[in-house]
């Protein structure tokens, strides 16, 4: 049975690598076009493309997956099943109708919760204690297909985005392989999603990462976890009339109260309710370091205008 694999970021690349190691016949890979990246704006391949190149797989990189020439090329592959893992484009019904066994999608939440672009970050921001992955039959409506299989994972209170993503990748690998093997003998039945339980996980905007110290410490702690290590939650730090960004990549809630934005010598910042003990930070233009080491080299700094 031949599949076409659609995917773009690290999550999708790791899953593709696993499928190839387990002898799944990947007839072609579809990923996003190379994009400018970094200060030099050098064109950079997606993580999925890098895996596909290493495996000498045919690669498609359509600017829009609805383009007729791309759909024609895709149909010529004559794959049985399309597998979509964080591809990054909406797929048209015309595309979904091409493979004889249909299209399946791995979504990084327990559908119908957190439909949309950023389920991992949103569940962390909401302070969820459990999430998972769901494999659904793809339909035109976003993340609304029947669920074929799912798997859960606990979210410890200090877990960051990177750590949760790694855990979700690991539970996705065997689950997706099992579903693909099922398709080799029959089209699996799925369970319809309960529309009354639907929640949405909209795309993360950079501005959401700004820390305002008048918010509750627990809320800010969840924000920091959701944005760590990328793109990083941040606060303005003021010193000698200058302001610079300080990324805060790890922190913990502590039972200490003071004026919001007040910074102690031990790197505790007062919030609207309780406080945050800063653990890992990244000053503007520098590497990640321990908060106490960063603070030791500072003079006359303040968060107080950042409320």
- Residue 168 within any structural domain of the chain: yes
pLDDT in tens, 181-213: 999 999 999 999 999 999 999 999 999 999 999
Give the model's confidence band at 305: pLDDT under 50 very low, under 70 low, under 90 confident, else very high.
Answer: low
Domain-located, residue 113:
yes
Mean pLDDT of the chain: 96
Tell me the CA distances in angstroms from 98 to 18, 73, 77, 119, 136, one per residue in order: 25, 11, 10, 28, 17
Query: Percent of the chain at pLDDT above 70?
Result: 99
> Is 132 domain-assigned?
yes
* Tokens at 117, concatenated: 């672009």
Task: Return the percent helix, strand and coil in the chain, to nearest 5.
Answer: 30, 30, 45
- Whether 183 and 296 share a structural domain: no
Same domain, 216 and 145: no
Q: What confidence tier does 298 reach under pLDDT thresholds 50, 70, 90? A: confident
Which residue range is the domain that position 266 belongs to? Answer: 208-302
pLDDT digits (tens, 9 = 90+) for 110-130: 999 999 999 999 999 999 999
Residue 267, classed as helix, strand or coil, is coil
Instruction: Give domain status of residue 307, yes or no.
Output: no
Q: What CATH number does the domain containing 287 carry?
A: 3.10.25.10
pTM reported for the whole predicted model: 0.95
- Among the candidates 176, 197, 218, a domain finishes at 197
Q: Is residue 14 one of the residues assigned to a domain?
A: yes
Could you tell me if 182 and 245 lie in one domain? no
Tell me which of 162, 197, 232 is where a domain ends: 197
Task: Provide mean pLDDT across the span 150-173.
Answer: 99
β-bridge pairing 25-30 and 59-60: parallel
Mean of the pLDDT values across residues 130-159?
98
% of residues, the chain, pLDDT over 90: 92
User: In this structure, is residue 91 part of a structural domain?
Assistant: yes
Residues 193 and 255 reside in one and the same domain: no
Is 237 within the bounds of a domain? Answer: yes
Taking the C-alpha atoms of 169, 60, 74 and 3 in order, what is their torsion angle to the nearest 10 degrees? -30
Q: Which residue has the higher pLDDT, 301 or 168?
A: 168
Structural domain ending residue among the three candidates 154, 178, 197? 197
Asked whether the CA dihedral 46, 131, 201, 271 is positive or negative, the reply is negative
Does residue 105 or residue 297 have the better pLDDT?
105
In the chain, the number of structural domains is 2
pLDDT, mean of residues 136-153: 98
The residue assigned the tokens 């968060």 is: 303
């Amino acid at each position: 049975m031949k599949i076409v694999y659609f995917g773009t970021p690290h999550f999708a690349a790791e899953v593709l690598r696993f499928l190839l190691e387990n002898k799944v016949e990947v007839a072609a890979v579809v990923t996003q076009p190379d994009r400018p990246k970094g200060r030099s704006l050098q064109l950079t391949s997606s993580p999925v493309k890098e895996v596909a190149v290493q495996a000498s797989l045919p690669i498609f990189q359509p600017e829009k997956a609805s383009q007729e020439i791309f759909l024609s090329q895709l149909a010529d592959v004559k794959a049985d099943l399309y597998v979509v893992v964080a591809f990054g484009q909406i797929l048209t019904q015309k595309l979904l109708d091409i493979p004889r066994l249909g299209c399946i999608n791995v979504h990084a939440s327990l559908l119908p919760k957190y439909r949309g672009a950023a389920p991992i970050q949103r569940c962390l921001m909401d302070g969820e204690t459990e999430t998972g992955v769901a494999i659904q039959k793809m339909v035109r409506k976003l993340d609304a297909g029947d669920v074929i299989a799912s798997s859960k994972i606990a979210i410890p209170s200090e877990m960051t985005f990177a750590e949760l993503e790694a855990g979700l990748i690991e539970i996705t690998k065997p689950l997706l392989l099992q579903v693909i093997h099922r398709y080799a003998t029959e089209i699996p039945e799925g369970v319809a999603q309960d529309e009354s339980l639907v929640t949405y996980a909209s795309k993360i905007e950079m501005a959401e990462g700004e820390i305002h110290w008048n918010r509750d410490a627990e809320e800010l702690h969840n924000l920091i976890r959701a944005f760590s290590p990328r793109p990083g939650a941040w606060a303005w730090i003021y010193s000698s009339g200058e302001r610079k960004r300080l990324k805060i990549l790890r922190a913990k809630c502590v039972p200490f109260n003071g004026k919001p934005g007040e910074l102690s010598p031990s790197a505790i910042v007062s919030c609207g309710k309780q406080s945050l003990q800063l653990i890992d930070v990244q000053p503007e233009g520098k590497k990640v370091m321990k908060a106490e080491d960063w603070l030791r080299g500072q003079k006359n700094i303040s968060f107080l205008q950042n409320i």
